[in-house]
Amino acid sequence: MLFSEACERNKQSIAAELERWLPRPALALEVGSGSGQHAVHVTRTLSQLRWLPSERPEALAGLQQRIDLEGRSQLAAGSSLADAVALDVTDTGWPTGPFDAVFSANTAHIMPAAALPHLLTGAASVLRPGGLLLLYGPFSDCGRHSAPSNAAFDAHLRSLDAAMGVRDADWIVALGQSAGLASVADVAMPANNRLLVLARR
């Protein structure tokens, strides 16, 4: 079964921020659920949360395996974890909303830069008015990294694929504004990560 050390290290701090930002009850879409560890953890930790995980079609089977094994029991009161759905952010076939929140962890630096505008506009299209887009991961500011480890990580990503790389938070906020999303918060997280919070106008 797929497993991410980063998810395991950061899942509690992420869940604490989701507890802070999400309304109750909440219907949330996760973009790029990967191993499914965040999906399982938040639905076991937070009450009154309906969570829809998603992944690219070729990665769906591994995600669904964790949901089947761990996502059907020990869930918090009123919470549910749906079967995973296929989602490529560059396609028009986003799940039908409206969602109270769209959450994505450690995807902005993996997907090609050209896909980021699609992520922002797609999220805006399925959020209810006032709904939140929450993006977690490492971000730079005007091309400057917040820590040497982030600079090294960025260089490593770009050595693997020139289309990958740590993204600039100001650029993402500007993309959000063009899509009808207003910047609400930029939350410092452990290990030099951040949580960007944008709201649909």
pLDDT at position 116 is 98
Q: Average model confidence (pLDDT) for the chain?
A: 97
**pLDDT tier at 131 (50, 70, 90 boundaries)?**
very high
pLDDT above 70 as % of the chain: 100
CA dihedral 11, 145, 101, 130 (to 10 degrees): 140
* pLDDT tens digits, 26-66: 999 999 999 999 999 999 999 999 999 999 999 999 999 99
pLDDT at position 157 is 97
Give me the residues paired with residue 168 across strands: 140
pLDDT score of 147 more than 90: yes
pLDDT score of 92 more than 90: no
Q: What's the total number of domains in the chain?
A: 1
pLDDT at position 109 is 97
Cβ–Cβ < 8 Å for 34, 61 = no
- What residues make up the domain containing 179? 5-200
Mean pLDDT of 2-6: 90
Residues 98, 180: Cα–Cα separation, whole Å: 15
Contacts 24+ apart (CB under 8 A), 109-115: 109/137, 109/138, 109/153, 109/154, 109/157, 109/164, 109/165, 109/166, 109/167, 110/32, 110/157, 110/164, 111/32, 111/164, 112/163, 112/164, 113/163, 113/165, 113/167, 114/163, 115/89, 115/90
**pLDDT tier at 1 (50, 70, 90 boundaries)?**
confident
Mean pLDDT of 123-130: 98
Cα–Cα distances (Å) from 199 to 93, 124, 127, 140, in that order, read 22, 8, 9, 21
- CATH of residue 143's domain is 3.40.50.150
**pLDDT tier at 198 (50, 70, 90 boundaries)?**
very high
* pLDDT tens digits, 180-191: 999 999 999 999
pTM of the shown model: 0.97
